[in-house]
Structures are given as C-alpha cells and as structure tokens.
C-alpha cells in the first residue's frame, strides 16, 4: 500500500512519454463533452492518494464573492478526511470571512438520493433534477459551520449552458500520469458548470448578506499525491450580466519535472482547459497543451494564461503583476460554424501595492493534518495560493464578425505555487 503511495520510480524506458494531456487526446470537433449524471457523482475513493473536490464560485450582483467547497481527501490506509470551506469577500469594505471545518458523519448518497448529493452533520448539498425546464439541474446548499456562520443557497444551471468536460465519452476530462495509460500512476480530471444562477444568503454574526448572481461549479479529482501532480495551478472565473450573460473560465496545471513528453526531467507541461458562455449560451469549449521548451504553435484552438511583470515576494515565489487570459475554439452551438475567441488582461499590482488581492493562502495551514504531514515530509514544500477579485473587461470576437465586443464584469482568479 505505502509503496504505491510514496513511489516516484521512473518508467523502465527513461525517455518514454509518461504524461498524456487531455487537450491532445481529442480532435477539434470532439472537445465538447457534455456531462452525464454520473460525471458529477461523488467517487469517494479510498486507498492510495486521491483528493476530490466540488466547488461553487458565486459573483453577486452587488460585487461580492462567495466560494463554497467540499474536499474529500483519501490518504492510504487512513480514513478519508472531509472538509467544508467557504470564503466571503466584499471588495468595497475589504471584509473577508474564511471558515474551514472538518466535518463528521459524511455520506454520499444520503438516503433516497443519488451520489450527486451529500451531507454531513454540518452541511447538506442536495441535487435536484427538473428535465425539460429552463433550469434542469439545481443544488441546494445548507451549512451551519459555526455559531456565527450559516449558508443557504440554491444553485441552478440554465438549460442553455450544459455542463462540460474536455472530450467526448468516458475518457473525456482525463489527463494521465505514467508510461502506461492503461495502468497510470495517477490522473487529473475536471468537470464544469461554466455558468449558474445563485440565490440565497450568507449569514455572518447574525447579518444576512444576500447572495444573488452568476457563478460556476467545478468537480475535480487528483488521483495522485498533489505535489507530484503539479508544480503550479491557475484558475480564472469571469462573470458578467452584460451581452445576455457572459462567462469565461480556465483551469490550468503545470506538471512537475518528473512527468513530460520524454519521461522524467522533461516536465513543466502546462495543460489548460476552458470555455466561453456568450449571450447566455455555451458557445465554445477549448483546451491546449504547452510542452516544456516548446513554442506555442499558432492554432485555431487556444486556452492560455500568460504571467508577466513577475516579482519575488515574501513567499519565495514570483508573483505575477499581470496575467493575460486567452480563449479560442470552434463554436459548439448547433448549426453555427466558425470560431469564437476572447481575451482578458488583469492588472494585479506589485508586491507593495497589490490590486484585488483577497489573500495569500498558506496551504499547509489549511489542509487536513494527515495530508499536510505526508506532503511536507516527502516533498519539503510550502505551497501558497494567491486569490484575487477584480473588475475586468473581456474582449470577444464572434464567428463571422471582425468587430470585437467588450464586456465588463468581475474576475476571480487564483495562482497556486506548490514547488
């Protein structure tokens, strides 16, 4: 058991490819994989080293941010640890409320429901289906995390914005680590609702803050020790009520040096997946891979985040002062041909004068104890997550048009450094 958890042995052929990216596994017309009910079921795997999470990010109409997350962490022979975390941020007042609770008596599925629902003593998340309606799926979230923090939310997905994974079929969404894809060392998978509508309340110290507005949902699984999966992560979530409802999301990870096109020491592979919602409809699903020491080729399909104005800060990592996010890919709307593209550049300020910085999260101060001891002991890492929330302007070019459309909205983005 423990040999499989902690092994970092290279493949027999040291130069054999030992990483297979999801974005290079599907053709352009196969990138949109519509989610099935099974895709958002909790796997709740035990044994090995598997982290599974479901996260709901909401941008409220009055410009606040709310994140709710459930994390299921399995570490070898130990009983899984389950956390519920939330973060409320008001950029006007600078108020940030953060809470993380190790929950008890977690179960999925609860009696009478399927595995898209879960509950514990401290919270419940109930999935409800309403096929044939304007909102065919909803989650109802109720949480009592402390005497001074309660959450009550309804999260509803519009029929015009189906959930997606990159790639059609059962293998859609998967990137594999290891020389043998039939028996990989590990895997990473992401499944998304790129836009939902939230209504409800976040209650702090007896004050009920109204939560109403758009957001996105992600279900992610890391089937390997997190410090072996990636050296960096990036995430972007842009939401706007303009132009009929707009969303632009990205999720990116960069492999460690151990996994790449030519085996160990060829890592640093950046894998990015994302989508565009324009006019209240899912119009584009895209993804790209940048191999280490390789130029990014010109392509119709682009999903990229470029960091610039880097500066070393007190974490020991180089913080970006600016990030350019780019999307391009074929339309997924029935009967529409051509490509969508979009760009968004965000100014994050410098080390002394950051812009929109919510927090620099010391990850080892937040994750479960068993996971913390394992990762820190094996890797000697001290990972940090930068979280920002800023106004942004997304520039969209639609098929058949040479006149870009500019859309104002709010961008929540993260940059995580693990090693």
Q: Is the pLDDT of residue 340 over 50?
A: yes
Residue 12 is assigned to a structural domain of this protein: no
Task: Determine, yes or no, domain membership for 15.
Answer: no
CATH number at residue 79: 2.40.370.10
Determine the average pLDDT of the residues in 187-210: 97
Query: Has residue 173 got a pLDDT over 50?
Result: yes
14 occurs within a structural domain: no
Scanning the structure block, which residue is given the tokens 């599907």?
26
SS (H, E, C) 149-195: EEEEEEEEECCCCCCEEECCCCCCCEEEECCCCCCCCEEEEEEEEEE
The verdict on residue 40 lying in a domain is: yes
Number of domains composing the chain: 1
One DSSP character per residue, 309-354 reads S-EE-TTSSEE-SEEEEEEEEEB-STT--SEEEEEEEEE-B-SSSB
Single out the residue of 261, 232, 269, 150 nearest to residue 419, CA to CA. Answer: 232
Predicted pLDDT of residue 48: 78
Does residue 2 sit within a domain?
Answer: no
pLDDT of residue 306: 97
Which pLDDT tens digit goes with each residue over 312-338? 998 889 999 999 999 999 999 999 999
Residue-range definition of the domain harbouring residue 226: 21-417
Residue 9: inside a domain, yes or no?
no
What is the tens place of the pLDDT at every residue in 73-118?
Answer: 887 656 789 999 999 999 999 999 999 999 999 999 999 999 999 9
Answer yes or no: are the C-beta atoms of 329 and 166 closer than 8 Å. Answer: no
pTM of the prediction?
Answer: 0.93
Residue 279 pLDDT level (bands cut at 50, 70, 90): very high
| CA nearest neighbour of 71 among 108, 105, 102 | 102
- List CB contacts of 311: < 8 A, sequence separation 6 or more: 318, 319, 321, 350, 351
pLDDT tops 90 at residue 15 = no
Any idea how long the chain is?
419
5 domain-assigned: no
């Amino acid at each position: 058991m423990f040999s499989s958890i902690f092994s970092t042995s290279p493949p027999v052929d040291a130069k054999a490819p030992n990483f297979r990216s999801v974005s290079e596994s599907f053709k352009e017309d196969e990138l949109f994989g519509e989610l099935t009910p099974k895709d958002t079921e909790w796997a709740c795997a035990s044994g090995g080293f598997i982290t599974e999470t479901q996260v709901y990010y909401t941008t409220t109409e009055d410009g606040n941010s709310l994140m709710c997350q459930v994390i299921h962490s399995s570490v070898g022979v130990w009983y899984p640890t389950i956390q519920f975390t939330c973060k409320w941020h008001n950029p006007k007042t600078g108020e940030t409320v953060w809470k993380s609770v190790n929950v008890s008596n977690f179960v999925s599925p609860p009696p009478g429901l399927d595995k898209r629902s879960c509950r514990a003593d401290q919270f419940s998340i109930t999935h409800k289906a309403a096929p044939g309606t304007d909102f065919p799926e909803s989650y109802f979230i109720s949480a009592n995390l402390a005497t001074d923090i309660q959450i009550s939310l309804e999260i509803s997905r519009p029929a015009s914005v189906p959930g997606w994974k990159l790639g059609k079929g059962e293998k859609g969404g998967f990137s594999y680590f290891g020389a043998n894809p039939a028996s990989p060392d590990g895997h990473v998978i992401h499944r998304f609702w790129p836009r939902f509508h939230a209504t409800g309340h976040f209650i702090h110290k007896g004050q009920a803050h109204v939560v109403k507005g758009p957001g996105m949902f992600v279900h992610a699984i890391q089937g390997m020790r997190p410090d072996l999966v990636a050296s960096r992560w990036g995430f972007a979530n842009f939401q706007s009520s303009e132009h009929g409802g707009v969303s632009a999301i990205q999720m990116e990870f960069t492999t460690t040096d151990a996994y790449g096109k030519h085996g160990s020491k060829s890592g640093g592979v950046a894998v990015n997946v994302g989508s565009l919602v324009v006019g209240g409809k899912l119009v584009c699903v895209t993804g790209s891979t940048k191999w280490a020491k390789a130029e990014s080729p010109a392509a119709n399909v682009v999903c990229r985040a470029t960091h610039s104005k880097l500066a070393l800060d007190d974490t020991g990592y180089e913080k970006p002062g600016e990030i350019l996010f780019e999307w391009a890919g074929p339309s997924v709307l029935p009967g529409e041909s051509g490509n969508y593209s979009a760009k968004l550049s965000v100014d994050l300020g410098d080390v002394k004068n950051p812009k929109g910085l919510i927090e620099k999260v010391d990850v080892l101060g937040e994750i479960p104890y068993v996971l913390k001891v394992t990762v820190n002991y094996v890797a000697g890492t001290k990972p940090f997550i930068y979280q920002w929330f800023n106004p942004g302007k997304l520039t969209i070019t639609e098929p058949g048009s040479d006149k870009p459309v500019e859309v104002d909205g709010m961008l929540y983005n993260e940059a995580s450094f693990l090693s």
